[in-house]
Amino acid sequence: MKGNSYRFLFGDMREANLMYEKAYSKPIGIDEYILLRLMPNILDTIEKYGIFLIP
């Protein structure tokens, strides 16, 4: 199974917070993809590792 490596206690919360700060720091355009603003850490993980579905 692919994914972010385990880090004790806080995991990748710091990186996720940085992604949210970057996403919220600039105004969103009317034609931009809204999920980039709402869930930047989820989309980054999907871009890195793909979608893993349990059958």
Q: Is residue 7 part of a domain?
A: no
Contact 36, 43 (CB under 8 A): yes
Q: Is residue 4 part of a domain?
A: no
Domain housing 23: 13-49
pLDDT tens digits along 1-55: 566 677 777 777 888 889 889 888 888 888 877 877 888 888 888 888 888 766 6
Q: Is residue 38 part of a domain?
A: yes
How many domains are contained in the chain? 1
Structure tokens at 6: 């385990």
Q: Is residue 39 part of a domain?
A: yes
The H or E element that residue 21 is part of is helix 13-24
Q: Is residue 41 part of a domain?
A: yes
Q: What is the pLDDT, as a whole number, of residue 55?
A: 62
